[in-house]
Structure 1
Amino acid sequence: MGYFVDFRAWLARLEEVGLLQRVTSEVVIETEAAPMAWLVYRGLPPEERCALLFERPVSVRGTRFEGALVINSVAASKRMYALGMQCEVEEIKQKWIRAIDHPIPPVLVDSGWCQEIVHTGAELEAQGINELPVPVDLPGLSGDPRTTTAVITKDPETGARNVGEYSGFLKNRTTLRWGIGVRQHGFLHWKKWRARGEPMPVAIAIGVTPNILYAASTKLPEGLDELAVAGGIAGEPVLLVRCKTIDLEVPAHAEIIIEGLMDVDYLYPGTSFGEYPGFMADETRRYSPILRITAITHRRQPIFQHVTCGMPPSETSELIQYGHEASLLHHLREEGFEGVLDVGLPDFGASREFIVLQMRKRSADEPRAALEAAAQFSGEGMGKILVAVDEDIDPCDAEAVCWALTFRMQPAYDVTIKKGPFIALDPSGHPPSGTFEEGHLPEGPSSILIDATRKWPYLPIALPKRQFMERALQLWQSEGLPPLHLKALWASRELGYWSDENESNAQLTVQGDYEKIWERTKRKRVPVEEVGEHLGV
């Protein structure tokens, strides 16, 4: 089976498996659409989260749109993400690593559906981006509508392409303000264009197959073309066409392409918007460049694809989580940390700031070394809390990780505090009216590395042994009891310390012969004075 030929084929597949719901009523894009999408995350269990396709979006002014609007369309759940990777949930990381190791370069074609309709010149000026149903992400708080999808730029010196998931904030029908961090590759391209005194060509691709957004939202090894990695995910090249007004190539079968030139002479303040830590960001004192739109091309009756960003979990946090987990795991293995079995970036840490390494450690100091390597890979802007756990702990299970933190580490011995990273959007680093540079943290921002692995053999985990749990599972199912969602740790595991006497006693007990244990035990009695009132503990 080949990959999804276009975004519409992907949406059809989502609907086929029950992961897309249609909304047939008129829904106002400024006040109603995004709140309905947020209910998916705030009211449904993860396995039931779905895309919402709004068939009749309207503006608060009564404008009706030719196309549709879809939200939560590529990463509403891990199940949806796995569908986009064309693999099982448990295979996501390995599929990702294969795509990184075996990218497939994109292929340029003569034409694409993304250019069925072309708006330039006076036609563009007349309506521009107002033709599209761009929703307000967080009604009552957001200062602008925004796009948050794949943004394409090129290095003017090398021609290297960057595809990143960046925001474009609507300012007027032909102007967007760019939302990007100063350490992102796209911004580094902008600095080079500015040094040349030339505006930077930019293309925004909206309504693309999931492999493209997966690659665009993931931290990849230096020098890798995100579209080639997207090809590696799909097992076939991404098809590209040349833009109409700028020197860039874009996905041929995207729903919508916004072409433009990024200003390099002036910067403009922003407004408020939701960010990945779960709080509003205030950019009224932060400046960034604007994009002057030169063309909008799209399919007939285009479907506008919107990605939510705000309180985790959101589609942004889910997009970041699965790709970053795989990319970090790939990096650690490349660095020689074969003892790292898995990586977890739980969404309660916005899939960026809480990093868990699952390890089968080969030496006492390997967990700390692996944590240091993970911190360096994550760089500035990611990785505030990093934890190493044993192989019996699911790194994506918050309860299991917190249990390991409670009973497998001692703060005075197993915790390292490091300077950095700089996380500009972390509200604990400075008040909303300030910056890191203003001295609110005299010692600067910091991160914590915790070795929550066992330092010596432990007694077994206090759950029934696997054979008894498996028998219980058979009985449960035969009785028609409610479906179970078993945790990774659902039966006992031996952790290195279990005596023959304990094993013998346990076997006698399940055989109904517990009285035989007493016959042995009573011969071991000793006076209280010999043991002491502390009972030998």
Structure 2
Amino acid sequence: MMSTTTLRRLVSGSCIETRFTPRIVEDAPCHEIVIEGDELDKPGKGLDSLPIPISTPGWDIAPFTTLSQYITKDPDSGVQNMGIYRGQVKAPRRLGMNPSLELRPGIYAHWEKMKARGKKLPAAVILGAPPCVAFTSAQKVPESLDELYVAGGLVGAPINVVKAKTVDLLVPAEAEIVVEGYIDTEYLEPEAPFGESHGHVNLQEYNAYMEVTCITR
């Protein structure tokens, strides 16, 4: 359950005003196992090694991550953004995604900027984040703020982060699983259908996808 102090910080908005700069660490629990390169192509070493379920049997086209935090970085300001989006497992090294473009999330702004540069967007997908990180990633905060700073304000202490192995991003050090890779900015692919939590089905549409370069846990 959420403590009274944490709830007070959330309701008052003080978690934004009293945000904490994340603490960068060298060694992290999320890097106890590192799988990258050709190792990801071996059976049971890529996304097929992760415990990702079919959420809505009969409707979901594939296993989907649901409480997955996507971290990307603004190529102009260097500020990271974190948001919750689903991820469709398409192949051991290919993860589809739905960034809810109608809501104009930060990840889409980053995608557009990298597309204009003709480059892919570095990304990290967090599975099993500390609760304060997962909770904060679903909130709407100014795009000039990194949600990891706000998560620190929520709990009253800096969030431990570590540099990702194959992309230039900082990820929660205590995450259970981190999937790193690059989101293509040239092509889109069919994604979904997917059974949503409210009982309706999100029909198939064209969305971006990520080419996985590393999985750590």
2:113 paired with 1:192: yes
Correspondence for 2:71: 152
In the alignment, which residue of structure 2 is the partner of 1:111? 27
Whether 2:129 is the aligned partner of 1:211: answer no
Q: Contact 2:81–2:147 at 8 Å: present in 1 too?
A: yes
Aligned-partner Cα distance in 2 for 1:222–1:153: 12
Conserved in 1, the CA contact under 8 Å of 2:81 and 2:143?
A: no
Tell me, in whole angstroms, the C-alpha distance in 2 between the residues paired with 1:278 and 1:185: 27
1:135 is displaced (CA, Å) by 0.8
**Cα deviations across residues 103-144 of structure 1 (Å, max 9, x unaligned)?**
111121111010001001121111301111111111121112
Correspondence for 1:282: 203
| 1:101 aligned onto 2:22 | no
**Offset from partner CA, 1:128-162 (integer Å, 9 cap, x none):** 01111111111121112111221100011111110
The aligned length equals 210
Alignment of 1:2-401 (within 5 A): 80=1, 82=2, 86-87=3-4, 92=7, 94-96=8-10, 97-126=13-42, 127-148=45-66, 149-182=68-101, 183-275=104-196, 277-283=198-204, 286-298=205-217
Q: Using the alignment, how far apart are the partners of 1:137 and 1:202 within structure 2?
A: 24
Q: How far apart are the structure 2 equivalents of 1:187 and 1:245?
A: 21
Deviation, 1:276, is 5.1
Distance in 2, matches of 1:162 and 1:222, equals: 7
1:184 Cα deviation from its structure 2 partner? 1.0
1:223-267 deviation per Cα after TM superposition (whole angstroms, max 9, x unaligned): 221001100011111111111111111011111100000111111
2:129 and 2:54 map into 1 onto residues whose CA distance is 20
Listed as ranges, the gaps of 5+ residues in structure 1 are: 1-79, 299-537
Secondary structure of the structure 1 residue equivalent to 2:86:
strand
Letter in structure 2 aligned against 1:267: L
CA distance in 1, matches of 2:37, 2:72: 22
- Unpaired runs of 5+ residues, structure 2, are none
Equivalent residues in 2 for 1:495-534, closer than 5 Å: none
What amino acid does structure 2 have at the position aligned with 1:247?
A: D
- In structure 2, distance between residues paired with 1:270 and 1:178: 7
By relative contact order (CA 8 Å, sep 6+), the higher-ranking structure is 2
Letter of the 2:16 counterpart: I
**Aligned residues: CA RMSD:** 1.4
C-alpha separation in 2, matches of 1:102 and 1:278: 38
1:208, distance to aligned residue in structure 2 (A): 1.3
Distance in 2, matches of 1:134 and 1:207, equals 12
Distance 1:174 1:212 in 2: 25
Measured after TM superposition, the shift of residue 271 of structure 1 is 2.3
Q: Which runs of 4+ in 1 moved over 4 A?
A: none
Q: 1-side partners of 2:143 and 2:122: how far apart? A: 22
* Aligned 1:448-527 pairs, distance under 5 A: none
Relative to the length of structure 1, the TM-score reads 0.38
Question: 2:142 & 2:183 partners in 1: Cα distance?
Answer: 26
Distance, in Å, in 1 between the alignment partners of 2:182 and 2:109 is 16
